[in-house]
């Protein structure tokens, strides 16, 4: 399991192995770390890797081996939203984990004693029985005297499905315009499903920039500009976008959804299982149109 730490509703990845594994999934992000006394830019930046909202949501929805780890503010919202049934399921999950550890320990013990007998050592049958008092299963106790629930005491529970559902809902509800954010995400997911690597496209006048492969090996080909439901497309903006894209040897693409996303209408569907609901939205078609200048005469 890989952790996706959240800070102020943004994904910040400090672990190098997690960054490498995300890269293999086509999740690029952008490095944002620097030294306070010697600030650097561009290629001199280091960890943490900051993830776009769309990247964070894509990994959470499609790769269950990654799970969200909240910051203090997000955790307080999480704990306040948990019901008695949620807490009961979490306790049951913890007991199940304990029993699994106990069973693993018992098998290791029996295998060890059988090996000793095989090697000719005389061991009475009573000693072959696993005794939890003599061979206990150890659990890590957090270094805190605070009995109020906090991140340290809950660190082992964040990967549980009920907790991840609550955290994902919080992440979605933190967006200032959820309809636009989901539209951006569905366009991002459409591009990823077609093999493109995606980065932020603000410096080229778009929402995303799409690469045919890893950005370390390829130049970007597409500048993506989402068009939201009900938004008017101004001809002047199309001309500006097409001219800019041609000047930097890219193709200007506008993308939008065929089906309208009504946030108020699907609130009740989002609550039980946001991952499955987002996957159902991904089944809807995404329309794309490209613009580029052509020569005359």
What whole-number distance in Å separates Cα of residue 48 and Cα of residue 19? 9
Give the active site residue among 58, 196, 211, 252. 211
- Told to judge if 105 belongs to the known catalytic residues of this protein, a careful annotator would answer no
DSSP 8-42: TTEEEE--HHHHHHHHHTT---EEEE-BTTB---G
Sheet holding 10-13, edge to edge: 30-33, 46-51, 10-13, 2-7, 66-69
Say how many C-beta atoms besides its own lie within 10 A of residue 48's C-beta: 19
* 3-class state of residue 114 by DSSP: helix
Tokens read off for 256? 């939008």
What whole-number distance in Å separates Cα of residue 188 and Cα of residue 200? 11
Give the active site residue among 58, 190, 250, 252. 250
- Told to judge if 221 belongs to the known catalytic residues of this protein, a careful annotator would answer no
Alpha-helical runs (H) found in 29-147: 53-62, 72-81, 84-118
Give the active site residue among 98, 142, 219, 279. 219
* 3-class state of residue 271 by DSSP: coil
Q: Three-class SS string for 194-233?
A: CCCEEEECHHHCCCEEEECCCCCCCCCCEEEEECCCCCCC
CB within 8 Å of 169: residues ≥ 6 apart? 81, 270, 271, 274
Say how many C-beta atoms besides its own lie within 10 A of residue 111's C-beta: 10
What whole-number distance in Å separates Cα of residue 5 and Cα of residue 194? 28
- Told to judge if 130 belongs to the known catalytic residues of this protein, a careful annotator would answer no
List residues with catalytic annotation. 211, 219, 250
């Amino acid at each position: 399991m890989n952790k996706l730490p959240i800070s102020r509703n943004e994904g910040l990845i400090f672990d190098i192995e997690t960054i490498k594994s995300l890269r293999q999934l086509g999740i690029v992000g952008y490095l944002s770390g620097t030294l306070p006394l010697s600030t650097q830019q561009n290629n001199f930046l280091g960890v943490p890797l900051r993830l776009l909202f769309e990247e964070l949501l894509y990994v959470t929805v499609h790769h269950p081996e990654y799970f969200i780890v909240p910051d203090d503010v997000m955790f307080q919202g999480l704990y306040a939203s948990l019901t008695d049934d949620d807490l009961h399921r979490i306790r049951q999950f913890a007991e199940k984990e304990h029993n699994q550890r106990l069973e693993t320990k018992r098998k290791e013990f029996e295998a060890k004693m059988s090996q000793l007998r095989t090697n000719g050592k005389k061991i009475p049958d009573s000693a072959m029985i696993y005794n939890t008092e003599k061979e206990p299963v150890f659990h890590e106790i957090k270094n805190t005297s605070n009995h109020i629930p906090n991140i340290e005491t809950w660190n082992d529970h964040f990967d549980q499905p009920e907790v991840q559902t609550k955290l994902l809902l919080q992440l979605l509800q933190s967006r200032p315009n959820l309809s636009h954010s989901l539209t951006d995400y569905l366009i991002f997911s459409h591009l990823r499903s077609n093999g493109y690597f995606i980065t932020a496209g603000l410096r080229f006048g778009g929402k995303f920039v799409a690469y045919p492969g890893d950005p370390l090996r390829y130049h970007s080909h597409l500048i993506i500009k989402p068009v939201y439901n009900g938004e008017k497309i101004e001809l002047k903006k199309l001309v500006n976008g097409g001219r800019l894209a041609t000047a930097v040897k890219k193709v200007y693409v506008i993308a939008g959804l065929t089906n309208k996303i009504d946030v108020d209408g699907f609130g009740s569907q989002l609550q039980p299982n946001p991952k499955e609901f987002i996957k159902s939205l991904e089944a809807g078609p995404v329309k794309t149109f490209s613009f580029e200048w052509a020569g005359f005469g």
